[in-house]
Each structure stands twice: as C-alpha cells, then as structure tokens.
Chains A and B, each alone.
Chain A
C-alpha cells in the first residue's frame, strides 16, 4: 500500500538534498569551541550556516541564536525577556498560540504577570483594535504567531509590528509554520524576536533558532560555556545547523502546492456537512483544515490510517491530552463541528499527483459518509 504522508505541519521528512549534505559532513565531529583544526572546521560550518540563515530573513549573523527547536526558542524569548526587564509585567499574546507560548505565559501568570490573550475573528485573524487597546505602559512583549499550526491562518504581522512600534513594545513572532515557506524580512516588518524550527521544513529534529534583534536585552535560560553569544550555552548541534541551512535553500513549490490545496479543499467542501476552518485567502499554501458535521475526527483519521493516508486531527481524543482544540474554540466553531475536524498539511517540496489527490478526496468522502451514517446527528435534519 502506498503511504501518503499529509501531516507536514507536525513534522517533515528529511529532504534528499539535506540527506546528501549531511552525508558529506557526517564525520565532522569537532567541538566548535575547540581551538584545534577539527574544532575550527566545525566552527566554520556553523558560522557559514548562521550567515545563510540570517540572510534569508534579512538579519545579521550575530542575531541568530541556535536552539534545540521552537519550544526552546519561545521559552527563551519570553522568559529571557521577562528576566531582563523585571519591571514590565504585562504580556500580550493571542488566543490561538501554540502551547509552547500559552504554557509559558500561564507559567508567568502564576508568577504575577498579567497575560492578555487577544481574540481572533471567525477566520482566526487577530483583532488589531483590541491589541492596540490592551497594550499598557507595563507591557513587556507582544507575541503573536505568524501562521497558525492548526488552521493555517496568516496573521497581519506587518500591522502588528507597526502597532508595537508605536507603543514601543517588543514584538515576538512564532514563525515555526512560516519560516522557509513564506518570505520574512525582519527589518522591513519590524520584528524583535522570531522563533523557528528545522524539522518543519525538511531538516533534522532538535534544531531551531531564535532571532534576537541587536540591542534586545534577554537573559539566557541555559548557563554554561557561553556559546551563542552567551544566550544559549551548550555545545552546538553542528549537523542540525548544517541541515537547517541546507533546507532553507530548497525550492518550495508554493504556487503548485496552493493549487493542489485548493482543489482538495473545494472537493472536500462538496461533502454534505463539511466546513472549512480558517481563512480561505489568508492561509498558508499547504494547510487544509475541514470539519465534518456530527462525526469525530479521530475516527476519520483512524479509517484513513487503514488506507495509508496519514493526516492529523485537532479534536478531543486525537492527542494524549483530552482537551478540545483551543484554536477551533477561539474561532467560534459550532459544537457539531468542533470534534469533527481534520488537518491535512501538504509536502511543500514534492507535489501530489492528480491520482493521489483524487484518491485522498475519494477516501475521505467515503469514510466521512460511513461515520455520518453511524452518527445519531444527521446534517440535513439538524440543519438550521
């Protein structure tokens, strides 16, 4: 059976070009902090990578701090800034952030910080007026993600950055789902801190970075040998860094992937009781999130598993946590659709064939109908 991996927002396979690059460099083992030739070799590699990555977002090399991934980057950005600016006690974020932002905020909330979560509209776009109104003199930071991991909504980060600049508050963005896929110019937009991760764009797991604009004062969360400008001690993940620098060079098939996305969306919306979650236009080109009336996403995901189609769900029992999707709740989804959502995130390097697309559409339709038949809630009857 052919395996169709459609969960690229969760993680991605290594690109073949990345594998080739890693194979070339696999014996590079020196500690970049060592002064001998082997250490210097490794150091040269990570500095070349840093330069490339910095350039890709129009930053300076010394503004790139390598970390173990975006969770660490998010923690470093928020906690690090809080510790360096102990008098500022307000953090403004959105209702639909990733747990690695929301949980950090919750944690700081327990330590006396005021956390304001800005609401989003039915497409998942942040309320800019509310943002403007909420920023107080006490504000430490505004943190709003660039692209949402569940519904793919692209936030107007240019406007958010503008508001932050007016109010003189640093702006952090979690760019995990957009870095390497959408063009980001940190200077032009006015970003102070940006988190990114390697494994979401066909590089290795365990590597990410935090962009820290020059002049920003943050406290390290890992103390030790003083690597990464003293902001992140620990021997650098040399191969991870190399893989990340390679991955950002690869051509992403944005336009073709978008066409494929739209075809799948439009076909799935023909299924009775289906509904697109998120924005149709302001949406990352590889994300599809659709709910089906009266069924549970996990059941659908399991049926698709049997067909070799690997997707994800944001519904109740999908993850180990029994929580409902905070994102779908925030966009005000009707309760009959809340649990019946699936997320399909396409590969941005390799396109699906027409045959594969049609197979995916057909299998989803078949299995949705099967589950709707089992369900006590019938779309036609219950429709308002």
Chain B
C-alpha cells in the first residue's frame, strides 16, 4: 500500500511559498467556497480590466485559504493559472487541471481540498451577477 498522505514536490512548493496570497482592495468580485466545519475555506478576489482587444480579463487575483497543504497549494496554483486570462478562458479551468498542474494530489485530498476552480467559478458568477 502506498502512503496516502504524501504530497508532490509541486504541492509542497506552493504550500510553503504560496503565490498571490492576500486580499485585493475594492475587488471586482469575490468568490468563497467551503465551510469551516469541513475544514477548507477558500476566498478568491478578482480585479477585472479590459485587454487590448476589448475583452474582460483577470488583471489581478488573490486568495485567502484556511485548510490543509493541498487546499493552500491548489489556491496558489489557481491564481497562477488564472492570472492574465480572459473571463471566458478562466471559466474553463477545472479542479482536475489544478490537481494536474500540481503533479497530482493524494486521492484522499481530491474531493475535500480541491476547491480552487470552484471558488474561481463562484467569483466569476458573482461578477456576472453584478453586471446584470
């Protein structure tokens, strides 16, 4: 049996030195997912701007996360994946892609701590609701 709690080097890297951690003042939108009882809560902040071709894109993205190493690493990874992308492109990012970019997650963590793409989707939803 393989140990179920071993993380890839990539996960450890993002866990110990997370990218884009913190808050954005006056964000364009916020997305939050999870609840403290479950253990993992992630909050994504977006700053949206128009690119040269007039499309909305993610100019800045930051996160705050309470959770285990996998939760923090996936949060860090999503900000890297989403930053600079148009809204349409960002919508397509999946939890599976986040896990893949981290060279995999322990099976036990796939469900409970792999929430980053959902948090981003929620932030985009909130953004679109705001516009309506």
Find chain A residues with CB under 8 A from B104 CB. Answer: none
Choose among A317, A335, A376, A377 the residue that contacts B68 (Cβ–Cβ < 8 A): A317
Q: CB distance B64 to A320 under 8 Å?
A: no
Interchain CB contact under 8 A, B65 and A375: yes
Is A375 within 8 A of B39, CB to CB? no
Q: Could you tell me if A296 and B43 are in contact, using CB atoms closer than 8 angstroms?
A: no
Q: How far is the CB of B77 from the nearest CB of chain A, in Å?
A: 14
Q: In the bound complex, do residue B66 and residue A376 qualify as a contact, i.e. CB atoms below 8 Å apart?
A: yes
Chain B contributes a number of interface residues (CB within 8 A of A) equal to 28
| Contact across chains for A306 and B69 when beta carbons are under 8 A apart | no
| Cβ contact of A296, chosen from B5, B32, B37, B39, cutoff 8 A | B39
A322 touches B68 (CB 8 A): no
The distance in angstroms between the C-alpha atoms of A316 and B36, with both chains bound, is 11
Nearest CB of B to A279, in Å: 25
A317 and B39 within 8 A (CB): yes
B63 to chain A, nearest CB (A): 8
- B112 is an interface residue with CB less than 8 A from chain A: yes
> A317 CA to B112 CA in the complex, in Å?
9
Residues A322 and B71 in contact in the complex (CB < 8 Å), given A303-B16, A316-B39: no
Q: Could you say which of B37, B41, B64, B69 contacts A298, with CB atoms under 8 Å apart?
A: B69
Residues of A within 8 A of B70 (CB): 317
User: B91 at interface (Cβ–Cβ under 8 A)?
Assistant: no
Residue of B nearest to A372 (CB): B66
Hey, which chain B residues are within 8 Å of A299, CB to CB? Answer: 15, 67-69, 72
Given the known A-B contacts A299-B15, A320-B108, A322-B112, are A377 and B36 also in contact in the complex, defined by CB atoms under 8 Å? Answer: yes
Partner of A374, one of B4, B21, B38, B40: B21
Which residues of chain B are within 8 angstroms of A295 by Cβ–Cβ distance?
A: 66
Would A320 and B4 be within 8 Å (CB), given that A302-B15, A306-B16, A374-B21 are in contact? yes
Q: How far is the CA of A322 from the CA of B43 in the complex (A)?
A: 22
Complex-state Cα separation, A324 to B37, whole angstroms: 9
B42 — which chain A residues lie within 8 A by C-beta? 376
Distance of A329 Cα from B70 Cα, bound (Å): 24
- Asked if A322 and B108 sit within 8 Å, CB to CB, the answer is yes
B109 at the binding interface (Cβ < 8 Å): yes
Closest B residue, CB atoms, query A294: B66
Would A315 and B64 be within 8 Å (CB), given that A296-B71, A374-B18 are in contact? no
**A111: min CB distance to chain B, Å:** 30
- Please name the residue on chain B nearest to A377 by beta carbon: B66
- Say yes or no: A374 contacts B112, CB within 8 Å: no
Report the minimal beta-carbon distance from A122 to chain B, rounded to whole angstroms: 18
Interface digits, A300-324 against B, CB 8 Å rule (1 contact, 0 not)? 0011001000000001110010101
Say whether B79 faces chain A, with CB atoms less than 8 Å apart. Answer: no
Cβ–Cβ < 8 Å partners of B15 in chain A: 299, 302
Interface centre among A298, A374, A375 (most CB of B within 10 A): A374
Residues in chain B near residue A294, CB distance under 8 A: 36, 66
* A336 within 8 Å of B (CB atoms): yes
A364 lies within 8 A of chain B by Cβ: no
Q: Does A291 contact B (CB under 8 A)?
A: no
B74 to chain A minimum Cβ distance, whole angstroms, is 13
* A8 contacts B by Cβ under 8 Å: no
Give B113's nearest chain A residue, CB to CB. Answer: A317
How far is it, in angstroms, between the C-alpha of A67 and the C-alpha of B64 when the chains are bound? 49
Smallest CB-CB A-B distances: 6 pairs: A376-B64, A316-B39, A376-B43, A375-B66, A298-B68, A339-B39
Contacts A/B (CB < 8 Å), 25 sampled: A296-B39, A296-B66, A298-B69, A299-B69, A299-B72, A302-B69, A303-B16, A306-B16, A315-B39, A317-B70, A317-B108, A317-B112, A324-B39, A335-B36, A335-B37, A336-B36, A339-B36, A339-B66, A373-B21, A374-B21, A374-B66, A375-B66, A376-B41, A376-B42, A377-B41
Known A320-B108, A322-B112, A376-B64; 15 more pairs at CB < 8 Å: A295-B66, A296-B39, A296-B68, A299-B68, A316-B68, A316-B112, A317-B39, A317-B108, A322-B108, A335-B36, A336-B36, A373-B21, A375-B65, A375-B66, A377-B66
